[in-house]
Amino acid sequence: MADLEQLYQQVIMDHARSRHGSGLLEDWDGESVQVNPTCGDQVRLRVRLDRTAAPRVAAIGWEGQGCSISMASLSLMHDLAVGRTLAEVDELNELFLEMMHTRGGFDEDKADRLEDAAALEGVSRFPARVKCALLGWMALRAAIAHALVTDPEDS
């Protein structure tokens, strides 16, 4: 178990540093700004949708500052969500929320579906940090909602 935790630590540190999806999109459909006052994390996230019959997340770009967990979670979420249908993103978001409330012992099959984002499972044992891990997902959900109420013909 110690090895797995070390691996998870490494994934989190790598993503906190490399920040996949970092940088705001010029061409976007929805935007959200989220703040986690308990830790001071903040993010501005923009999403571009591929508006087909089953709309997909075409791109996510974000700019933020905060603790390693919040920044790593945004980076991991970016890799997980880009290219997915909105229905899939909803499902992954629900799984991630569930993982954040298990406090250890999250179902392995569900963890597999979260891919590298499962590295954040350990955060669920520290309730004060759960909001850090959820910041990005809240921003993505709000940015998609914003995109869906915006008429693409107007932009």
Candidates 35, 39, 111, 148: give the one binding Zn ion (CB under 5 A).
Answer: 39
Region 107-126 residues binding Zn ion, contact defined as CB under 5 A: none
Q: Of residues 29, 31, 41, 121, which one binds Zn ion by CB under 5 A?
A: 41
Does residue 32 bind Zn ion (CB under 5 A)?
Answer: no
How do 56-65 and 30-36 pair as beta strands? unpaired
> What 8-state DSSP symbol labels residue 15?
H
One residue of 32, 70, 75, 93 binding Zn ion per CB under 5 A = 70
- Stretch of 7-15, 17-25, 70-78, 88-96 contacting Zn ion, by CB under 5 A: 70-78
Instruction: Tell how far CA 64 is from the center of its chain.
Output: 12
Does the footprint of Zn ion cover residue 132 (CB under 5 A)? Answer: yes
The answer to whether 75 touches 18, Cβ cutoff 8 Å, is yes
| CA pair distance 75, 119, nearest whole angstrom | 12
From the list 33, 63, 29, the residue with the least C-alpha distance to 47 is 29
Please tell me whether residue 67 binds Zn ion under the rule CB under 5 A: yes
Q: Does 93 bind Zn ion (CB under 5 A)?
A: no
* Torsion angles phi and psi, residue 99, rounded to 5: -60, -40
Q: Which residues contribute to the site for Zn ion (CB under 5 A)? A: 39, 41, 66-67, 70, 132
